[in-house]
Amino acid sequence: MNLRTSGFASSSLAALLTLLASGSVRADEVQVAVAANFTAPIQAIAAEFEKDTGHKLVAAYGATGQFYAQIKNGAPFEVFLAADDRTPQKLESEGDIVKGSRFTYAIGTLALWSAKDGYVDSSGQVLKANPYQHLSIANPKAAPYGLAATQVLAKLGLTDQVKGKLVEGQNITQAYQFVSTGNAELGFVALSQIYKDGKVSSGSAWIVPAELHDPIKQDAVILKQGQDNPAAKALVDYLKGPKAAAMIKSYGYQL
């Protein structure tokens, strides 16, 4: 009798372990629309999020304005990490998010960057010296970092001077690629694209003073599509936690 009981207990434990290993104790996926400037941080966060929670983050990257249009057209995103605060506010006012879910997950920093060492000086005088043929920016109508770049040029009185030199990317990733491939000598990018662990990782850059443009407050929301997905809430909670905060700051964002 005791042998049978012991055998039953062992087989039950084995069955339970098999269920856990097979994922029958369910982990969920969350579909996330991510502003292009936040690509590197969210990739780092996603790996830790899956390790710590069991949930999987599936990300798409692009311009905030383009994601707004896709969300309004029924795209199946459940969480939206925007590059501004205005677009999430608009979605909130239109009833497209889970009430109370909007919060600022990062404050972005704009940088003027060249892939060439020593090309950009520490105060951005290269913009006025005008030795370049092409200046890359993101589309200011769709990408908040592109809008910030136009504000900087206006503040410095350079809008007309550089008009014929602008090369416009659909989003901040494309703006970065124009510079990294040498198709533009310099460009306005997100600091997070060129910054890791307290320093610019390649080329030369001017970190643009915040007073030269509107604050780049980046808000996150749970969209109505994600209201019943535990992984969506888990991700938002995770982004508010100390582990994610440390990773976000390591890419040059403020909190």
**Domains of the chain (ranges, CATH numbers):** 2-107+216-250 (3.40.190.10), 109-212 (3.40.190.10)
- Return left, alpha or beta for 49; rule: phi > 0 is left, psi -120 to 50 is alpha, else beta: alpha
**Tokens 């029958």, located at residue:** 24
Mean of pLDDT values over 132-145 = 95
More confident residue, 167 or 201: 167
What per-residue confidence (pLDDT) applies to 199?
A: 87
Mean pLDDT value across residues 114-129? 96
- The stretch 226-243 carries a mean pLDDT of 98
- Whether the CB-CB separation of 97 and 78 falls below 8 Å is answered with no
Q: Report CA Rg, the chain.
A: 22
Which of 5-9, 131-135, 161-165, 228-232 is predicted with the least confidence, judged by mean pLDDT?
5-9
Q: Is the pLDDT at 107 greater than 80, yes or no?
A: yes
Structure tokens at 186: 């310099």
Gap between the terminal Cα atoms of the chain: 63
Q: What is the mean pLDDT of residues 233-251?
A: 97
**What does the block give as tokens for 208?**
């643009």
pLDDT band at 111 (very low <50, low <70, confident <90, very high): very high
Tell me: pLDDT of 196 over 90. no
- Percent of the chain exceeding pLDDT 90 equals 86
Average pLDDT over residues 139-155: 96
For range 152-157, the mean pLDDT: 98
For residue 249, count CB atoms less than 10 angstroms from its CB and return exposed for 0-12, middle for 13-18, buried for 19 or more: middle
Question: Tens digits of per-residue pLDDT, 172-189?
Answer: 999 999 999 999 999 999
What is the Cα–Cα distance from 160 to 213, expressed in whole angstroms? 18
| Mean pLDDT in residue range 111-138 | 96
Mean pLDDT of 80-99: 97
- DSSP 8-state assignment for residue 65: H
At 166, give phi and psi (nearest 5°): -70, 135
